[in-house]
Amino acid sequence: MELAYLVAVQHLAPRPRAVLILRDVLGWPARDVAELLGDSVNSVNSALQRARAGMREHLPGHPGLPAARRGTRELVRRLTEAGVATDTGRIATMLRDDVRCSMPPTPGLHAGRDAVVNDWVESGFEGLGRLRTVLTSVNRQPAIAFYLWQEREGAYLPLTIDVLRITGGAITEIVIFHDDQFPRLGLPERLPADGTE
């Protein structure tokens, strides 16, 4: 970790500092942090927001993570936008030629950009409908939780969690988990209709 980051962390109160390190540096899910600290997930998320704000104050222009992660954050942001737009063409530009994609416990592995993108197209990804996302991490890897609009419920409900491995500015692996994993990461059970938050 950068020296400047370590110095800035020292300006935080102990609890937000612990939450920041556990969530952003070590990649722990909010639920695990809450359990360790004997607190609620909402309290942990609030402490993380305070910690990130404190880091921005002490490191102007710094996103709250070590500088080496800035490129990863930008790639995840672009991937998120393309995913919400179900734009497989744009997503393909962010994948390495030898990218791998799997969806445990479903058997099978797709290897190579064309094979991965073709599988998504054949599975109907481009016609899914309205999507929203929540950014998270799994085992210190960036992850995107996708929610799909369900008219009957009047809300966006959990769909998948895409865990990313990024190397050299490109996505080298995507492991997609089903909606039953959302509670383990402390993710919301639903997101409200657009503009109602």
Domain that holds residue 139: 68-192
Domain end among 16, 39, 65:
65
**Average pLDDT score over the chain:** 86
Is 197 contained in some domain?
A: no
Q: How confident is the model at residue 153 (pLDDT cuts 50, 70, 90)?
A: very high
Q: Tell me the percentage of the chain whose pLDDT exceeds 90.
A: 48
Pair type for strands 141-150 and 155-167: antiparallel
Q: Which residues of 9-44 are buried (b: 16+ CB within 10 A; e: fewer)?
A: beebeeebbbbbbbbbeeebbbbbbbeeeeeebebb
Whole-number Cα distances in Å, 67 to 61, 71, 72, 114, 183: 10, 8, 10, 32, 30
Which of 1, 39, 2, 63 is closest to 16 using CA atoms?
A: 39
Range of weakest confidence among 17-31, 77-91, 99-113, 172-186: 17-31
Indicate which CATH number applies to the domain containing 157: 3.10.450.50
What is the number of domains present in the chain?
Answer: 2
How far apart are alpha carbons 185 and 137 in whole angstroms? Answer: 8
Residues 86 and 183 in one domain: yes
Task: From 65, 85, 115, give the residue that closes a domain.
Answer: 65
What pLDDT shows up at residue 71? Answer: 78
- In a shared domain, residues 40 and 90: no
Averaged pLDDT for residues 89-93:
95
pTM of the model: 0.65
